[in-house]
Amino acid sequence: MGPWAGRTAAAACSAMLFGASAAAQSSSVIDPAAAPAEAVATTEISPPCELHVWPSDGFTRNISTMLSRGDTGVIGLMIGAARSDGDKKMRIPDASDDALSVVAQTALLNDMAVPDIIGLPSHRLVVHDQALESRVIRNSPGRIAPSTSPCYAELVIDDVAFQREAFGARHLKTLFRYRDFGSGQQPQRRFGTWANTRLEHFPPETDADKAAAAADLHSAFRANLVLFAQYLSKASHGETEKK
Partner 1 sequence: MKHMLKAALAGWAATIAIPAAAQSPAPCELHIWPAERMNSVTTGLLGGGLIDAALHSGRDASNKAQLASALDSPSQLDALQSLDLHNLINLQPGTVIVRHEEPLDRKTMNKVKTRRSDSTAACYRELIVADVFYQKAAIYGRSLRTLFMIRDFGDDQKIDMEYKAWGGNGLSLFPPKEGEDAVAALDELGTVFKKNFEEYANNARASMARKAGK
- In the bound state with partner 1, the residue whose beta carbon lies nearer, of 125 and 175, is 175
Q: How far, in Å, CA of 217 to CA of 219, rounded?
A: 5
Contact status: 190 vs partner 1 (CB under 8 A): yes
Could you tell me the smallest distance in angstroms from the CB atom of residue 70 to partner 1? 12
> Is the Cβ–Cβ distance between 108 and 221 less than 8 Å?
yes
Contact status: 89 vs partner 1 (CB under 8 A): yes
> Which regions of 165-232 does DSSP assign to beta strands (E)?
170-182, 189-198
Closest CA to 64 of 159, 169, 160: 169
Q: Which member of 94, 97, 165, 209 binds partner 1 (CB under 8 A)?
A: 165
Stretch that binds partner 1, among 5-13, 94-102, 120-128, 230-238 (CB under 8 A): 230-238
Contact status: 229 vs partner 1 (CB under 8 A): no
User: What is the rounded end-to-end Cα distance, in angstroms, of the chain?
Assistant: 44
Q: Across the strands, what pairs with 156?
A: 54, 177
Q: Across the strands, what pairs with 129?
A: none
Q: Which member of 2, 73, 86, 141 binds partner 1 (CB under 8 A)?
A: 86
Q: Which member of 122, 134, 148, 185 binds partner 1 (CB under 8 A)?
A: 134
Stretch that binds partner 1, among 31-39, 95-103, 191-199, 216-224 (CB under 8 A): 191-199
Interior CA angle at 108 toward 44 and 176, to 5°?
85
- In the bound state with partner 1, the residue whose beta carbon lies nearer, of 63 and 103, is 63
Q: For residue 154, what is the enclosing H or E element?
A: strand 152-164
In sequence order, what DSSP letters do the residues of 40-77 get, joined into one string? HHHHHHSPPPEEEEE--S---EEEE-GGGSS-SHHHHH
Contact status: 79 vs partner 1 (CB under 8 A): no
- In the bound state with partner 1, the residue whose beta carbon lies nearer, of 4 and 234, is 234
Contact status: 173 vs partner 1 (CB under 8 A): yes
Residues of this chain that interact with partner 1 (CB under 8 A) are 61, 63-68, 78, 81, 84-89, 133-135, 138, 158-159, 161, 163-166, 169, 173, 175, 177, 190-194, 196, 230-231, 234-235
